[in-house]
Amino acid sequence: MRTCELSRKTAETDISLSLNLDGTGKSSINTGCGFLDHMLTLFAAHGKFDLTVTCAGDTYVDDHHSVEDIGICLGQAFQQALGDKRGITRYGSFLLPMDEALILSAVDISGRSCLCFGLEIPTQKIGSFDTELVEEFFLAFTRNCPMSLHIRQLAGKNAHHIVEGAFKSVARALKAAVALDGTNDIPSTKGVL
């Protein structure tokens, strides 16, 4: 089973996370950030990842530390669950319409960290959530499960639709990239990822 359970405790956050890459999309998310709970719930559902996250963070300051540290933990969980990446498809992409928003995500689980973030979110907040934290989340994620991740907004005016479309699109691209291809090969001519 490609699973991982981990925890991370700092002066700013206390996080427990479990991940099953070969799940059914069930989740239990309690981050202390309502909008992030919503995004991670749909991320799990669309990627068919079983995901449990709890976080006690210093949200009296703002959501920054919680969002970034959860991104770190989720990236570490993907990295551990993938192991040596033997037998994975490696690449995935998905073009996702979310009402007027259209988001393209493409991923290469390459072992090299690169985020190309192309969202133009028209508001600074969605509810109480700072929209600049969307990029911080994906930066933390890609730094801790090194991959090339491109997220491009092709259309969209509504901030909620744009961000939700991004999380769903990334989840669908990751679902394709982590899928097993029926071989025991490492998908690289270098022999390592």
| Residues in Cβ contact with 130 at an 8 Å cutoff, skipping those fewer than 6 apart | 62, 63, 64, 124
Give yes or no for residue 1 having a pLDDT over 90: no
Q: How many C-beta atoms lie closer than 10 Å to residue 58's C-beta?
A: 15
Give the burial string for 104-123 (b: 16+ CB within 10 Å, else e): bbbbbbbeebebebebebee
What is the model's pLDDT at position 148?
98
- What confidence tens digit (pLDDT) does each residue in 56-75 have? 999 999 999 999 999 999 99
Asked if 15 and 52 touch (Cβ cutoff 8 Å), the reply is no
The mean pLDDT value of the chain amounts to: 98
| pLDDT over 90, % of the chain | 98
- What confidence tens digit (pLDDT) does each residue in 38-51 have? 999 999 999 999 99
Asked if 188 and 122 touch (Cβ cutoff 8 Å), the reply is no
| Domains of the chain, earliest start first | 3-178 (3.30.230.40)
What is the model's pLDDT at position 191?
87
- What confidence tens digit (pLDDT) does each residue in 25-40 have? 999 999 999 999 999 9
Q: What is the pTM of this model?
A: 0.97
Asked if 8 and 72 touch (Cβ cutoff 8 Å), the reply is yes
DSSP 129: E
- What confidence tens digit (pLDDT) does each residue in 76-132 have? 999 999 999 999 999 999 999 999 999 999 999 999 999 999 999 999 999 999 999
